[in-house]
């Protein structure tokens, strides 16, 4: 049974259920996914998206897509486009509820004025260094700013003039007047507004004061009448501040709830690090198939279904965790096994000549497109005297339990015939370059009328009909489970995370369009890459099939 068939209980679901029972929000459920458009979405965001949209869907509510674009120096339109595309691709719909924090700048400013009037905010002329120095430390309380007790009128005047552009960047900030001795450092008069003479990707030059996260976020939630404001654990310390602003303003007050962000083994999840990989050319871009970004995973061949199922499978809790790659891989395989058509491709070709097959002859054999889905039907695949099989499917000196081809041994070519290896042709260096085999015409289709059994079934491609394809084989991006915890995380990049081979593919694979997903029988799931050209298709390996033989052999060699 898959994880999606049964809802795993988690504490956020419990909170919402309880709120609905008590009527805390009159039965409304409004969540939001609030990315900052300063990078591409990754699998960690997917967890949050699935949670927020999932809760809304489950409880008949809505989930807003809101760009938290309060810092013009780091945000770009390219990112908002990619985020919209990725959330859609994941399968979620925000209806009309697409919002931008920048649309609230006017309202936020008015609220700040209101807070000043109430005596809860002041303009500080100290430099950022002075502010930092006066903030104190984890164990020492901070000192109050000399500007802390300016009159309300002076604060009002100064704040208006900040907005009017009379002061240079960094010369003044608006601060909340809370408690410089608070044990929670976030409460030591946090900065609400800074002066930034920078063009914003949406508001242009309309503003030169921009709100800080803590001030802005609760307001955004309040304005949109969000009920459950779900965020990650590091904001737990900020909740008192979230609550303080809304309480002092006496406005609609959503509930902030924190959960543990996703960590995936053998990759990194911070936008800063992902950006660095892109900028330094360690990967080909945000959508490099080795990246944990949604665009990368999409290009790699992951399906939205599999990612949603993964999100459900890993659960939602408050403890830090490092999720095993095998869970993600399980989810893609599960979905692709059901949905991906099969085809044959030989990644590491070894020529086979069927000596008793008439020269010049060929025929077409019926192959099942997906044994998991009879509705997918069959296709005709050409067969001839010369074929390619996988190099690893032949062993001159087979180890115990090896069930594939070796001298004198008979195996089945899938959907074709039984063949027996009669001769091995080697080059000057002693490498096996060709196999001379005979086939049994009675076994047409791969069945033996006399009931004789064969231990192995091999995939193959007709040499005369095969096309070449570039196939990109991916491995984990890093060689250590938690690269972010290493002092020099880049030193642990996996030098073998990408291997490119030229494969022999069956004719039906020649003209597939980018994004086409299928299984190369016995090898794994693959997805046609946008780099494909008419004469040269390119495939990305999404994930291998489970490989029991590799496991057995690995154990024997140990």
Partner RNA sequence: UGGGGCGUCGCCAAGCGGGAAGGCACGGGGUUUUGGUCCCCGCAUCCGGAGGUUCGAAUCCUCCCGCCCCAGCCA
Residue among 139 and 513 whose Cβ is closer to RNA: 139
Active site residue 504: no
C-alpha separations of 517 from 305, 333, 427, 514, 525 in Å: 14, 12, 37, 9, 7
Query: Alpha-carbon distance 74 to 295, whole Å?
Result: 20
From the list 150, 271, 412, 541, the catalytic residue is: 271
Active-site pick, 36, 76, 376, 553: 36
* Cβ-based burial of 534 (10 A; exposed 0-12, middle 13-18, buried ≥19): exposed
Q: Which is nearer to RNA, 123 or 288 (CB)?
A: 123
**In sequence order, what are the residues at sequence separation of 6 or more whose Cβ sits closer than 8 angstroms to the Cβ of residue 52?**
31, 32, 33, 63, 230
376-381: Cβ within 8 A, 24+ apart: 376/341, 379/508, 381/344, 381/415, 381/462, 381/506, 381/507, 381/508
Q: How far is the CB of 284 from RNA (least distance, A)?
A: 26
Minimum Å gap between C-beta 533 and RNA is 28
Tokens, residue 114: 């209101």
Shortest separation between residue 41's beta carbon and RNA, angstroms:
13
DSSP state of 67: E
Least Å distance between CB 95 and RNA? 23
CA 549 to chain centre: 30
In the complex, minimum distance from the CB of residue 322 to RNA, in angstroms, rounded to a whole number: 4
Residue 258 is a catalytic residue = no
Active site residue 426: no
Nearest to 119 by CA among 178, 193, 183, 180: 178
Q: Which of 74, 148, 261, 436 is catalytic?
A: 261
Based on CB atoms, which residue is closest to RNA, 434 or 482?
A: 482
Shortest distance, position 13 Cβ to RNA, whole Å = 9
Q: Judged by CB, which is closer to RNA: 203, or 337? A: 337
Residue (318 or 380) nearer to RNA, CB: 318
Q: Which residue has the tokens 């007790």?
A: 149
Minimum CB separation of residue 244 from RNA in Å reads: 14
Contact 291, 271 (CB under 8 A): no
**What would you report as the CA-atom Rg of the chain, rounded to the nearest whole angstrom?**
31
**Based on CB atoms, which residue is closest to RNA, 284 or 337?**
337
Q: What is the DSSP letter of 323?
A: B
Cβ closest to RNA, residue 129 vs residue 535: 129
Tokens of 357: 């097959």
Number of other residues whose CB lies within 10 A of the CB of residue 130? 14
Q: Is 95 exposed, middle or buried (0-12, 13-18, 19+ CB in 10 A)?
A: exposed
Sign of the C-alpha dihedral computed for residues 360, 366, 372 and 373 taken in this order: positive
Q: Would you please indicate which residues are annotated as catalytic (active-site) residues?
A: 36, 261, 271
């Amino acid at each position: 049974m898959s994880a999606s068939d049964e809802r795993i209980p988690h504490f956020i679901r419990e909170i919402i259920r309880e709120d609905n029972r008590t009527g805390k929000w009159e039965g409304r459920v409004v969540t939001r996914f609030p990315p900052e458009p300063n990078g591409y979405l990754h699998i960690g965001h997917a967890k949050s998206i699935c949670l927020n949209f999932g809760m809304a869907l489950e409880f008949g509510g809505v989930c807003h897509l809101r760009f938290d674009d309060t810092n013009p120096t780091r945000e770009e339109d390219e990112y908002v486009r990619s985020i919209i595309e990725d959330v859609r691709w994941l399968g979620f719909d925000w209806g009309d509820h697409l919002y931008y924090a920048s649309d609230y700048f006017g309202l936020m400013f008015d609220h700040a004025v209101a807070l000043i009037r109430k005596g809860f905010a002041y303009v500080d002329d100290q430099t950022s260094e002075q502010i930092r120095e006066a903030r104190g430390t984890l164990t020492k309380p901070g000192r109050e700013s000399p500007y802390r007790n300016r009159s309300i009128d002076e604060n009002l005047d100064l704040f208006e003039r900040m907005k009017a552009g009379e002061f240079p960047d960094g010369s003044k900030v608006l601060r909340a007047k809370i408690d410089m001795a608070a044990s929670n450092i976030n409460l030591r008069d946090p900065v609400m507004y800074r002066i930034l003479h920078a063009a914003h990707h949406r508001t242009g030059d309309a503003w030169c004061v921009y709100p800080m996260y803590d001030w802005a976020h609760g307001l955004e939630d309040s304005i949109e009448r969000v009920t459950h404001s779900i965020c990650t654990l590091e904001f737990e310390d900020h909740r008192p501040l979230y609550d303080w602003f809304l309480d002092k303003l006496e406005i609609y007050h959503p509930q902030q709830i924190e959960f543990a962000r996703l960590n995936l083994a053998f990759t990194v999840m911070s936008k800063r690090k992902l950006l660095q990989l892109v900028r330094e050319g360690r990967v080909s871009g945000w959508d490099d198939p080795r990246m944990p970004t949604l665009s990368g995973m999409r290009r790699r061949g992951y399906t939205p279904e599999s990612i949603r199922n993964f999100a459900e499978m890993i659960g939602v809790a408050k403890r830090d965790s490092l999720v095993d790659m095998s869970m993600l891989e399980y989810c893609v395989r599960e979905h692709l096994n059901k949905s991906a058509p099969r085809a044959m491709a030989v990644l590491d070709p070894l020529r086979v000549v069927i000596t008793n097959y008439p020269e010049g002859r060929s025929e077409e054999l019926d192959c099942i497109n997906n044994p998991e889905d009879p509705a997918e039907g069959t296709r005709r695949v050409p067969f001839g005297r010369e074929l390619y099989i996988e190099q690893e499917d032949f062993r001159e000196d087979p180890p115990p339990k090896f069930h594939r081809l070796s001298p004198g041994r008979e195996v089945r070519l899938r959907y074709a015939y039984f063949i027996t290896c009669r001769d091995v042709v080697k080059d000057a260096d002693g490498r096996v370059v060709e196999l001379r085999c005979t086939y049994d015409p009675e076994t047409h289709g791969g069945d033996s009328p006399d009931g004789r059994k064969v231990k192995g079934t091999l995939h193959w491609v007709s040499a005369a009909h095969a096309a070449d394809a570039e196939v990109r084989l991916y491995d984990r991006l890093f060689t250590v489970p938690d690269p972010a915890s290493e002092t020099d995380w880049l030193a642990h990049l996996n030098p073998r995370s990408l291997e490119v081979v030229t494969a022999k593919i069956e004719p039906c694979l020649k003209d597939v369009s980018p994004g086409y997903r299928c299984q190369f029988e016995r090898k794994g799931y693959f997805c046609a890459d946008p780099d494909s050209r008419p004469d040269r298709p390119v495939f990305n390996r999404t994930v291998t099939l489970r490989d029991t033989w590799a496991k057995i052999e690995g154990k024997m060699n140990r």
